[in-house]
């Protein structure tokens, strides 16, 4: 289990996002959302159906679905361009949270 720094916890919980978004981020960072990869690892789904339902290219994991999937990336890119920012895609949700540290 990952031990979070105070600034990582601050980045997750002390922001303007609605509580359900914060909870989802918290669970996703700990790989606790019911993604297909988690359901396969628990024996709930067969391991031949763990592909992402959006792209059908990679497994649906806590990092892939909200961040690394090409469709998620298109959404992030649109938001980043709307805010007139430039960023480098983080390799994981934890790296993303580290980018948000105050």
Positions in the binding site for Zn ion (CB under 5 A): 52, 54-55, 69
Q: Which is nearer to Zn ion, 52 or 67 (CB)?
A: 52
Q: How far is the CB of 36 from Zn ion (least distance, A)?
A: 11
Sign for the pseudo-dihedral over CA of 4, 99, 79, 65: negative
Among left, alpha and beta (phi > 0; psi -120 to 50; other), residue 2 is beta
Q: How far is the CB of 95 from Zn ion (least distance, A)?
A: 18
Q: How far is the CB of 53 from Zn ion (least distance, A)?
A: 8
Q: Tokens 């999937």 sit at which residue?
A: 69
């Amino acid at each position: 289990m990952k031990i979070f720094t105070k600034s990582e916890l601050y980045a997750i919980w002390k922001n303007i996002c609605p509580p359900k978004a914060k909870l989802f981020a918290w669970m996703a960072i700990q790989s606790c959302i019911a993604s297909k990869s988690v359901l396969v690892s628990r024996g709930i789904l067969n391991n031949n159906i763990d592909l992402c339902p959006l792209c059908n290219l990679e497994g649906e994991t806590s990092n892939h679905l909200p961040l690394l999937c090409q469709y998620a990336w298109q959404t992030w890119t649109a938001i980043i361009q709307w805010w007139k920012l430039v960023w480098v895609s983080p390799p994981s949700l934890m790296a993303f949270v580290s980018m948000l540290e105050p």
